[in-house]
Chain A
């Protein structure tokens, strides 16, 4: 702790209790804090929702605030009207960073809750779990709290602060680079802003969909079945659609696939979205675009079945926890059932600016390729990134076209080479490449060797990353977010288990540094007052007043460029595309426009039919 006390005039360790309702800002209940230099303790209780209580701690530039999973406590501070502190250190993030990718002796992923972290550092709480659960339950019931109830809740909060203090004393010495840790705390502040802001939604459209869930599902399935002749869905006595695996398998075979060309589970063709449908849809985007249609339909039906449980606040904005640093590459992982920007592409069209504002979406173009080119210092690849289409360059490198090919002239080839480029960045084997391109392994190996000769600097960088992985047992981003690589030495490195770990590790510089750029941008954007509402993989969504949206967009672009250079070094600025949505239009993802139109048509048909029924009944 002395390292922190040497840097800051005050170091406050604190925890808060609040009432959390999805999509609403939290309602503060109480907080407890201890200042590490003086040992002073403070606590504050709120007697009603919305009560104003002065902040007992300084949020100034020479004060550090230590909170576990700090986005929640920062949301508390915002809801209490205290604003945000200058400096944050989050032991949750640091514990994640120290153990990301690590497994326990049974090979299971580690837990990262405060109890698990404390146990890992030999700190044990004496408060019975039943008592904690009772307090949590009481808090959720909300105001008013009797004096005795508030005393118990406050004591519970005090206990958590003492645990956090003890945890910090043991965990902080393990944090080697405090500058990086404080930067991660800064990122948590940006996430607190994103969770506070949210993105605007067409609530009327969601209400219409919610009011007609079974009919829209049924109607949409019929429309798409009619158009694409899937023959996959069956309808029960209530006319509800059901996905039939037998029919799906027959459809897969009708497309010309068999057990060698499509993953099967026994006699059934696999329909796993992540493992099968997504890569197959990408690979056969031109030959079989209906695979992507089926994917989108299935995703929509799943979300519709749960009656569109998106978290939408009274102000018509979708806001959820963003779950920063949860992905192995540290990317945000918000709950897709609640978070519209991260739900299926078609339903992103529910996002629409409210009157008087503009909704914007900026997406880094082919970010992973650019990041790898920049970090490796391979000027030829960086030149490809800036001036050419990376997918078609690879096709040309392999002799499938010449270097003048464009997306317009070679669309199918480009789609075919998308997965080749992505997988090639983290060590695709000759067997994998052969399968994707439908060539012999020998030819695939020749391509891989040719690429190594074409990009020797890039190849040396990949080899150096692999050496780092092999010798350190972990890989890191430029800002120090670490991924442990717990290789099982009892298995070969090409075994499925170790192969997955190694591919993930080799992909970490691309994925992890992309997440770093995204977070740094979020810091700069929120600190400069941009109303950042969500992140989506390599993209940002933000709103601005209609009369100055261009200024805001220019500022966002500057933030993105500064973040690129901070992570990748001076002169390396990633490209980005922008979409602008003016009131009363909706956001639309280019790949899902048709599906959204189908959904709207299905809805309108259902509503028209119901209106006609009503009129007939009235007559």
Chain B
């Protein structure tokens, strides 16, 4: 780009040409003598400036141990990758409680038989092991109910298995769309934590292993407060 001509044309700018020629130093100075240090470094200016093309292929920093694994859809500003191993995608049944003290998503143990009345509240879902650009692992929660945007989430996850993407909701098409990272080729560094351990960290106390769980009782018998304590009694 040739900017010098534009600079000269600018009505706002005083260029060195527009003012009296500057001496190399001030004729009278009261400021301390400050010797320049740039002689110590050959090619001072060249070494000073960051290189434009940064190495985006390098591996990530040493992995930290995460104590919490979020289970959620990725934030629209996250770049993330999904694990390529199909075993890292699991079907799971969830209960989504909206409002109240128990608000949140609960995960149902697949080996436990739950009351039939609970069926109406259960939402089938897929969770996929994913990782953000700054190395935080999470499980991508994709609900599989009739109203859920199953197709678009599946496409996003498939895309994220081989490149970094950002995902965002498009209200017009009622589905997710994604933007791939334009300059990043680095492969994600997954932790060595076994899947079971990751699931423990992800579900925590939201993992329901009893049909008499307090949350289930409250959901099925909202009028009967005594039942809320039944799990403790059974125990």
Chain A interface residues (CB < 8 Å from chain B) = 7-8, 59, 61-62, 64, 78, 83-88, 177, 179-180, 182-183, 185-186, 189-190, 192-193, 196-197, 365, 377, 379, 382-383, 386-387, 460, 463-464, 466-468, 470-471, 473, 476-480, 487, 489-490, 492-494, 502, 523, 526-532, 544-545, 548, 550-555, 557-558, 561, 566-567, 571-573, 575-576, 578
Contact = CB atoms under 8 A, between A and B. Distances in A.
Given A468-B54, A478-B50, A558 B30 contact: no
B81 to A, nearest CB: 11
Nearest to B31: A531
7 contacts: A84-B33, A179-B41, A179-B48, A386-B9, A467-B79, A557-B14, A575-B12
A8 B37 CA distance: 12
B26 A555 contact: yes
A225 B157 CA distance: 63
A377 B52 CA distance: 12
**Which of A7, A387, A578 has the most chain B CB within a 10 Å cutoff?**
A387
Interface size class of B (residues with CB under 8 A): 35 or more
Nearest to B78: A493
B103 interface: no
Contact of B33 (A83, A530, A554, A557): A83
Interface string B28-43: 1111111111111100
Given A463-B182, A480-B50, A545-B28, A554 B6 contact: no
Nearest to B1: A379
B13 A61 contact: no
Contact of B25 (A365, A466, A528): A528
Nearest to B5: A571
Given A489-B132, A557-B14, 11 more contacts: A88-B37, A180-B47, A460-B182, A467-B181, A470-B133, A471-B134, A531-B29, A544-B26, A555-B22, A567-B49, A573-B15
Contact of B14 (A85, A487, A523, A578): A578
Given A88-B37, A527-B35, A532-B31, A493 B76 contact: yes
B45 interface: yes
B13 A86 contact: no
Given A386-B7, A476-B50, A493-B76, A550 B20 contact: yes
Given A8-B40, A382-B3, A479 B78 contact: no
A332 B20 CA distance: 31
Nearest to A548: B27
B6 A387 contact: yes
Given A179-B44, A551-B27, A571-B4, A386 B39 contact: no
Interface string B133-145: 1101010000000
B149 interface: no
Which DSSP category, helix, strand, loop or mixed, fits chain B's interface?
Answer: loop
Q: Which 5 A-B pairs have the closest CB atoms?
A: A179-B47, A529-B29, A571-B3, A554-B22, A493-B77
A571 B1 contact: yes
Contacts of A84: 32-35
Contact of B27 (A64, A473, A494, A545): A545
B10 interface: yes
Contacts of B184: 467, 471
Contacts of A473: 61, 134
B32 A573 contact: no
Contact of A573 (B7, B19, B45): B7
Given A493-B78, A531-B31, A386 B20 contact: no
A289 B106 CA distance: 55
Given A379-B1, A478-B49, A86 B36 contact: yes
B23 interface: yes
A87 B37 contact: yes
Given A61-B40, A530-B31, A558-B16, A548 B79 contact: no
Contact of A479 (B21, B26, B30, B49): B49
B68 interface: yes
A487 B138 CA distance: 14
B58 to A, nearest CB: 10
A527 B34 contact: yes
Contacts, number: 202
A526 B134 contact: no
Given A177-B47, A182-B37, A578-B14, A572 B27 contact: no
A554 B41 CA distance: 28
Nearest to A476: B50
Interface string B163-177: 010000000000000
B56 interface: yes
Nearest to B35: A86
A45 to B, nearest CB: 23
A378 to B, nearest CB: 10
Contact of A489 (B26, B54, B138): B138
A528 B26 contact: yes
A561 to B, nearest CB: 6
A386 B12 contact: yes
A182 B36 contact: no
A557 B16 contact: yes
B134 A470 contact: yes
B56 A492 contact: no
Contacts of A192: 32
B102 interface: no
Contacts of A571: 1-4, 7
B134 A566 contact: no
A83 B37 contact: no
B75 interface: yes
Given A386-B12, A386-B13, A529-B26, A479 B32 contact: no
Contacts of B235: none
Contacts of A557: 14, 16, 19, 22
A193 B29 CA distance: 12
Contact of B37 (A180, A185, A193, A460): A185
Contacts of B14: 557, 576, 578
B25 A529 contact: yes
A470 B80 CA distance: 10
Given A183-B48, A529-B31, A62 B78 contact: no
